[in-house]
Each structure stands twice: as C-alpha cells, then as structure tokens.
Amino acid sequence: MSTSSKLVLKAKEYAILKHFETNHKYDGKPYEVHLEMAFEFACKYVHLLPDEKTISEVLAAVWTHDVIEDCRQNYSDVKQVLGENVAEIVYALTNEKGKNRKERANDKYYEGIRNTPFADYVKICDRLANVYYSKLHNPTLLNVYKKEHDHFKKQLWKVDYQEMFDELEVLLGAG
C-alpha cells in the first residue's frame, strides 16, 4: 500500500533529517512529532484521495510540507528528491513573507493552496494535527486556531473534505 511506498518513506527520512539539521522543534520536541500527527490524519482520510499515485505523492507532501518554510530547502531541492508533484504541494504550503500569522497566511497564500491539486488536503491535515496537539498541550494556541477557523474554512472548505472539517470542528469545540 502507498502509505509505506518508497516515495513516502523517502519523504519521511528527508523531512526528519532536514528538520533535525536545522534544529527545528515542535513545542520543544523533535519536529517529527508534528509530522507524524499530520501523517496519521492523512492516513485516516486517505480514502478521499483518488488513486495510489496520488496517495503516495500526497503522503510524501504531508511529511515534507514545512521543509521549504522551515529548513532552508527550496522548490528545486524538494523536486530533486521527491518529484515535481510533491514539490508543487510543498511550495504551495510555504507561507508568504509577513510580520504576523495573518500576513504570512494571506489571500495569495490560500489562493496558491486552492490552485495546487491536493495542497488543500495536506493543509487540512496540518491544521488537524496542530489543533489536536494544541487541545492537549497549548490552550493559548488552540484559541488562536478557534479564532482563525471561520477564515480557514472559508478559504479551503469543499464538500470533498467535509468529514475532515467535521473532525476539525469537534476538536475546536465548534461542532
């Protein structure tokens, strides 16, 4: 099955290494804690993806979704290691320049996600992982996600991902 395809395993190894090399942490823990959670949500909803090739590429993108933004990697680096489709998703998920969360996740950012096949799926998995973790460990950040939720949903909701949004809203206490 594609959840453990060569591409997915290569992406996992690459992402963990790059986050380690840049000493990038997730709430003081190895960054793979976050990546593993996002991957688990992606596997939970993998039935929403159309075929094995797409599944492998999307799961690889889940592992690597932050390497351009956080690990001094660029589009060409990701493309060379994991191929163009994965690089397109990772690039789309890379925040814009900005002084705060709102500037970094601006309309251009969300437009790029919507215009890149399956980048929205990866972003929703990322948000599910962040909200899940925040609900357990960081109520202040959970409140940030609650405040952002209507805008996030307006930007990325589509009927195909309704069950993902249903879970997100339950985690946020909004469902």
pLDDT above 70: percentage of residues in the chain? 98
**Can you give the residue range of the structural domain that contains 89?**
2-172
Residue type, position 16, single letter? I
Separation CA 162–CA 5 (nearest Å): 27
Spatial distance between the Cα atoms of 71 and 151, rounded to a whole number of angstroms: 27
Residue 96 · residue 108 · CB < 8 Å: yes
From the centroid of its chain, how far is CA 47?
A: 17
Q: How many domains does the chain have?
A: 1
Between CA 21 and CA 112 the distance in angstroms is: 28
Buried b (16+ CB within 10 A) or exposed e, 86-117: bbbbbbbbbeeeeeeeeeebeeebbebbeebe
Q: Which helix (H) or strand (E) holds 13?
A: helix 6-21
Contact criterion met (CB below 8 Å) for 90 and 64: yes
Single pTM value for the model = 0.96
Query: In terms of DSSP H, where are the helices of 25-74?
Result: 32-44, 52-64, 67-70
Residue 19 half-sphere exposure, CB side, CA atoms within 13 Å?
23
Q: What is the pLDDT of residues 90-125, one digit of tens each?
A: 999 998 889 998 888 888 999 999 999 999 999 999
Query: 26: which strand partners?
Result: 29
pLDDT value at position 174? 64
149 and 168 in contact (C-beta within 8 Å)?
Answer: yes
Q: Which pLDDT does position 168 carry in this prediction?
A: 98
Mean per-residue pLDDT for 120-146? 97
Which residues partner with 25 through β-bridges? 30
Length of the chain: 175
Here the CATH number for the domain that contains residue 106 is 1.10.3210.10
What are the pLDDT digits (tens) for 19-63? 999 999 999 999 999 999 999 999 999 999 999 999 999 999 999
Average pLDDT, the chain: 95
pLDDT (mean) for 65-73 = 96
What is the SS3 assignment for 33?
A: helix
Query: What pLDDT, on a 0 to 100 scale, did the predictor assign at position 2?
Result: 67
